[in-house]
A = this chain, B = another copy of it.
Amino acid sequence: MPYQLHYWPTIQGRGEFVRLALEAAGADYVDVARLPESKGGGESALGERLGDPDNARPAFAPPFLIDGDVVVGQTAAILLYLGPRLGLAGVGESDGLWTHQLQLTIADAVAEAHDTHHPISTGAYYEDQRDAAEQRAKAFRDERIPKFLGWFERVLQRNPAGSLHLVGDVQTYADLSLFQLVDGLHYAFPKATARALAKTPAVEKLHDNIKRRQRVHDYLQSPRRIAFNEDGIFRRYAELDG
């Protein structure tokens, strides 16, 4: 039975980290909310499933994954579950834990990227928090992007198995997620990200290598990959880059 991914149908968002893992592994899955409404797709069906009062273990928010009797929410927990099943969590408990630790740090960076355009409230429009957004984006560009990418560069450079992967010499969901983080930062903050990547060559190389992997390449070219847009986490507002 295919994995069921439940996530907003019009953005990459946090669901994209799960989509990438499923795609890179060639897994059989359905991106349920992107089906036609007649087949259970659409945002209102997603909302109904999220709010189902009969679910004893509801997710706080999308994404959530259904695999038979298992329902799991929170992007990093979904990847923790899928990792060993898709062969994307390295070898043994130690690699699995390290892969997860990397993912959690990527999740922190993603949350901070989101807050550059919503520093005051997720419930208000960007336009109503633009002054604070410009201040937060400056701090994110000047301090946080270099700090996060610099840390991933050190992790790659120190990997005893070589700097092509974050964990050992195999592809993990952390590699795929770092690709997505860099891709998103590059979309939202092209100038600041180019500056940071100039100092983190192994991170840039990992991004380029993942992009060229056959299954990832095919996915990125397909209609299954939703384009970046200004409803997602990574948004291109010229006034927030520099």
- Chain A, residues 148-180, CB within 8 Å of chain B (1/0): the string is 100100110011100000000000000000000
* Secondary structure call for the A interface: helix
CA A100 to CA B97, docked complex, whole Å: 13
Copies in the complex: 2
Q: Which interface residue of A55, A70, A121, A143 has the most chain B CB atoms within 10 A?
A: A121
A172 to chain B minimum Cβ distance, whole angstroms, is 13
Q: Is A101 an interface residue (CB 8 A)?
A: yes
Among A120, A129, A151, max chain B CB count under 10 A is at A120
Q: Chain B CB within 10 Å — which of A60, A111, A154 has the most?
A: A60
Q: Is A115 part of the contact surface with B, judged by Cβ < 8 Å? A: yes
Task: Point out the residue from B80, B143, B158 that lies within 8 Å of A56, measured CB to CB.
Answer: B158
B155-A139 in contact (CB<8A):
no
Of A24-32, A71-79, A212-220, the one contacting chain B is A71-79
Known A-B contacts A119-B119, A139-B123; A70 and B57 likewise in contact (beta carbons under 8 Å): no
In the complex, are the beta carbons of B154 and A136 less than 8 A apart? Answer: no
A160, B53: Cα distance in complex, Å: 13
Note all chain B residues with C-beta closer than 8 A to A121: 135-136, 139, 143
A128–B98 Cα gap in the complex (Å)? 37
Is residue A105 within 8 Å, beta carbon to beta carbon, of the partner chain? yes
Contact, CB under 8 Å: B119 / A94: no
The answer, yes or no, to whether A66 is at the interface (CB within 8 Å) is no
| A52-108 residues at the B interface, CB under 8 angstroms | 53, 55-60, 70, 72-74, 76-77, 80-81, 94, 97-98, 100-101, 104-105, 108
Do the beta carbons of A58 and B155 come within 8 Å of each other?
A: yes
Within 8 Å by CB of A105, from B60, B70, B72, B115, lies B60
